[in-house]
C-alpha cells in the first residue's frame, strides 16, 4: 500500500475515531510527562529551562516515533526473556523506570524541604545535559505502554504517528506555563512530586504484574490538586482583603 492509499485510509470515520482515542490516551499520559519535565528543569537557570524542555521533548518525540516504527517488534517485549520465567523486557523497563522516578521524586522532595532546590546547580552545562537525559529517559518509560496499547487498537502506524505528534504539540505548548506555575509555588511543587512518587510506584507495580487501575491514581490526584488550588485562592483573597483594609 502506497502513502496516498495509507493516508486515505487514515481519513475514514473509524480511523478518525481511533485517532481521537489515541490522542486522548497520549494526553492522559502527557500529564505525567508535564510533571516530570517541570521538576527536571526546576534547577536550571530561567534562560535555559524552555530550551531544555524543547530539546528534551524533541528527542523524546523522535525516540517515540522510532518506537512506533518498530511497534510490532515492540510487542515482543511482552514475551518472557527466559522460557518458563514470567519476566519480560517490558517488566524490566517498567521496574527500573518506576524505581528511578521514585528516587528522583523523593530526592527532589528532600531538596525542596531542606531548601537545596533554591540553589542553581554549579555546572550549567552538565545540569542541562542531565535534564535532557532524564526527560528523554522517563518519556521512553511512559511511552512504552502507550505504544503497545496503541498497536492493540490499530495496526495503522500512520494513525499512531499522528496521535504522537499531536500530543507532543499539546504537551510542548503547556509544559512551560504549567511548569513555571509549579516551580514558583513550593507547596504545589511538593504535591506534584508526591504525584510522581505515586506514578513511580504504579509503574513499578505494573512491572511486577500488579495492575493498578489508573482511575484510582488520577482521581485522588485530581482531588488533591483541586483542594490545593482552592487553598491558594483562599490565601490570595486573604492577602487582597488585608491590603484593602490597610488602604482604608
Question: Is residue 205 one of the residues assigned to a domain?
Answer: yes
Mean pLDDT of the 45-68 span: 83
Asked if 220 contacts 202 with a C-beta cutoff of 8 angstroms, the reply is no
| Residue 165 pLDDT > 60 | yes
Tens digit of each residue's pLDDT (9 = 90 or more) over 76-122:
677 777 777 778 877 888 888 889 889 888 888 888 887 665 555 55
Counting residues of the chain whose pLDDT is more than 70, the rounded percentage is 84
Q: CA-CA distance, 93 to 137, in Å (whole number)? A: 10
Find residue 88's DSSP bridge partners: 80
Q: CA-CA distance, 233 to 248, in Å (whole number)? A: 23
pLDDT of amino acid 144:
74
Look up residue 123 and give its three cell numbers: 555546572
Question: Is residue 35 one of the residues assigned to a domain?
Answer: yes
pLDDT of amino acid 155:
72
Domain that residue 146 falls in: 13-212
Mean pLDDT of the 118-140 span: 73
Q: With cut-offs at 50, 70 and 90, classify the pLDDT of residue 11.
A: low
Tens digit of each residue's pLDDT (9 = 90 or more) over 136-154:
888 888 777 777 777 777 7
- In 10 A of CB 68, how many CB atoms? 21
Tens digit of each residue's pLDDT (9 = 90 or more) over 172-205:
888 888 888 887 888 888 888 888 888 888 888 8
Mean pLDDT of the 53-66 span: 84
| Residue 75 pLDDT > 70 | no
Tens digit of each residue's pLDDT (9 = 90 or more) over 208-240:
888 777 777 778 888 888 888 888 888 888 888
State the chain's mean pLDDT as an integer. 78
Question: Is residue 232 one of the residues assigned to a domain?
Answer: no
pLDDT of amino acid 135:
84
Asked if 65 contacts 57 with a C-beta cutoff of 8 angstroms, the reply is no
Find residue 85's DSSP bridge partners: 82
Mean pLDDT of the 127-139 span: 84
- In 10 A of CB 247, how many CB atoms? 5
pLDDT of amino acid 74:
66
Question: Is residue 4 one of the residues assigned to a domain?
Answer: no
Question: Is residue 61 one of the residues assigned to a domain?
Answer: yes
Tens digit of each residue's pLDDT (9 = 90 or more) over 38-50:
888 877 887 788 8
Q: CA-CA distance, 159 to 131, in Å (whole number)? A: 30
pLDDT of amino acid 245:
55
| Residue 248 pLDDT > 70 | no
Look up residue 199 and give its three cell numbers: 506514578
CA nearest to 150, candidates 31, 63, 65: 65
Q: Which helix (H) or strand (E) holds 87?
A: strand 85-88
Asked if 94 contacts 143 with a C-beta cutoff of 8 angstroms, the reply is no
Reduce the DSSP state of residue 85 to 3 states and report it: strand
C-alpha distance from residue 1 to each of 7, 13, 50, 125, 156 (Å): 10, 19, 40, 47, 11
Q: CA-CA distance, 64 to 57, in Å (whole number)? A: 10
For the chain, what is the domain count?
1
Question: Is residue 84 one of the residues assigned to a domain?
Answer: yes
Reduce the DSSP state of residue 82 to 3 states and report it: strand
CA nearest to 98, candidates 228, 196, 216, 239: 196
- Kindly tell me the sign of the dihedral angle through the C-alpha atoms of 226, 200, 67, 51: positive
Reduce the DSSP state of residue 121 to 3 states and report it: coil
- Each as own residue / partner, the long-range contacts of residues 223-228 (CB below 8 Å, 24 or more positions apart, any chain) are 224/191, 224/194, 225/191, 228/187, 228/188, 228/191
Amino acid at each position: 500500500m502506497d502513502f496516498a492509499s495509507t493516508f486515505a485510509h487514515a481519513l475514514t470515520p473509524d480511523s478518525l475515531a481511533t485517532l481521537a482515542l489515541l490522542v486522548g490516551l497520549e494526553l492522559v499520559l502527557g500529564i505525567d510527562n508535564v510533571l516530570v519535565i517541570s521538576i527536571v528543569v526546576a534547577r536550571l537557570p530561567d534562560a535555559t529551562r524552555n530550551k531544555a524542555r524543547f530539546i528534551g521533548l524533541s528527542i523524546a518525540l523522535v525516540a517515540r516515533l522510532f518506537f512506533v516504527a518498530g511497534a510490532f517488534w515492540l510487542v515482543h517485549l511482552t514475551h518472557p526473556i527466559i522460557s518458563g520465567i514470567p519476566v519480560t523486557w517490558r517488566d524490566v523497563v517498567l521496574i527500573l523506570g518506576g524505581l528511578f522516578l521514585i528516587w528522583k521524586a523523593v530526592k527532589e522532595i528532600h531538596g525542596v524541604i531542606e531548601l537545596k532546590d533554591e540553589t542553581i546547580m554549579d555546572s550549567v552545562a552538565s545540569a542541562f545535559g542531565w535534564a535532557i537525559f532524564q526527560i528523554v529517559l522517563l518519556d521512553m518509560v511512559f511511552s512504552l505502554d502507550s505504544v503497545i496499547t496503541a498497536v492493540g487498537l490499530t495496526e495503522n502506524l500512520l494513525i499512531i504517528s499522528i496521535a504522537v505528534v499531536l500530543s507532543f504539540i499539546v504537551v510542548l505548548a503547556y509544559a512551560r506555563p504549567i511548569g513555571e506555575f509549579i516551580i514558583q509555588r513550593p507547596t504545589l511543587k511538593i504535591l506534584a512530586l508526591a504525584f510522581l512518587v505515586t506514578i513511580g510506584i504504579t509503574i513499578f507495580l505494573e512491572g511486577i504484574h500488579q495492575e493498578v487501575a489508573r482511575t484510582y491514581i488520577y482521581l485522588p490526584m485530581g482531588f488533591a490538586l483541586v483542594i490545593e488550588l482552592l487553598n491558594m485562592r483562599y490565601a490570595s483573597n486573604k492577602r487582597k482583603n488585608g491590603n484593602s483594609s490597610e488602604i482604608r
